[in-house]
Amino acid sequence: MVCKSVVFPRTRPMLELLTDYTVQLVVLSSAVTGATSGALGCFAYLRRQSLVGDVISHSSILGIVGFFWLWFVLTGDGNKSLWLLIPGAMVASIAAMILTQWITNSTKIKADASLGVMLAIFFGTGLTLLRWIQRSSNPIPGQAGLEDYLFGMAAATTLSDFWMIGILTVVSSVCLFVCWYRLKLLTFDPGYAAGLGLSVGRWELLLLSLLVIGIVIGLQIAGVVLMVALLIAPASAARQWTNSLGKMILLAGLLGGGCAASGAFMSAVRKGLPTGPAIVVCLTLVVLVSVLFAPGRGVLSRRRTLVT
């Protein structure tokens, strides 16, 4: 299974790249995806739910493959449109989290162990179903390329996919704007939120839904395996520069969008460079710079303070 990239000749002129429709679509889709995932990832980072993001990401492969197979059973045709596969990914991810909560509440298994169990079950089952579909004695039309969702296939992004990404971005942005105060209160002090009479369970479900959106929106770009980096890395970098949640979300969105667009463009410039891993490399560099040089919280800044 090899990550796909936007493949162009090595010597292609920069102006031609900038005006190429495919490059523009992939870069713009990557930027919107990175900005949305980075902004929503701030809540997962502050609530120490990075492992939750990993479980959601890996669990989504079962929904992707399952909905593809279900569509084939119902219609006799294969369909890899994001309008079908993203809802499948969301259903599987939310189901994994609900089962995790049920196991934690009903047994003596701790939350982190429950998350690990669900990750293994959903990811393993998804891969098993994927292999069964690929090696079926009666080939399913359109199944070629399903495995690319493991590592992303940004080069295959279509205008229809972009509209799906845009709609999810608008929905999540509206939710953040309308529910900002309650989501912020729930993030920092859920006990106080409950004391004010807020239905913590319902708001937890909303936060979980936003987190799911922040992950499944990037499966086309970064894939199941790498998507959690696009969720957590921008938030980790942004946190080093500010103590304000609002500024952190804006900065994480800018960093995520910028790194995603840069990685996508790098894969267009260099033949054979995978888009998903290129984005993750950009994010890694941004996190390292932030951890080292951010004023106040950076490693060098703290050492300088200790010396003085």
Q: What CATH code is carried by the domain that includes residue 53?
A: 1.10.3470.10
* Per-residue model confidence (pLDDT) at position 307: 64
Q: Residue 82 carries which side chain, given as an amino acid letter?
A: L
Q: Which two tokens stand for residue 289?
A: 């710079």
8 A C-beta contact, residue 279 and residue 31: no
* Per-residue model confidence (pLDDT) at position 78: 79
Using a 10 angstrom Cβ sphere, with 0-12 exposed, 13-18 middle and 19 or more buried, the burial of residue 93 is buried
Query: pLDDT of 246-279, one tens digit each?
Result: 999 999 999 999 999 998 888 777 766 777 788 8
Give how many domains the chain has, as a whole number: 1
CB atoms within 10 A of CB 297: 14
Q: Quick check: is 218 in a domain?
A: yes
Q: Quick check: is 147 in a domain?
A: yes
Query: Whose CA is closest to 5, among 284, 269, 303, 300?
Result: 269
Q: Quick check: is 5 in a domain?
A: no
Query: Whose CA is closest to 56, among 198, 191, 209, 204?
Result: 209
Rounded to two decimals, the pTM is 0.86
8 A C-beta contact, residue 37 and residue 169: no
Q: Quick check: is 169 in a domain?
A: yes
Q: By residue range, what is the domain housing residue 81? A: 14-307
Q: Quick check: is 133 in a domain?
A: yes
Query: pLDDT of 156-204, one tens digit each?
Result: 788 988 999 999 999 999 999 999 999 999 889 888 888 888 888 889 8
Q: Quick check: is 63 in a domain?
A: yes
Please say if the pLDDT value at position 75 is more than 70.
yes
Q: Quick check: is 132 in a domain?
A: yes
Q: Quick check: is 179 in a domain?
A: yes
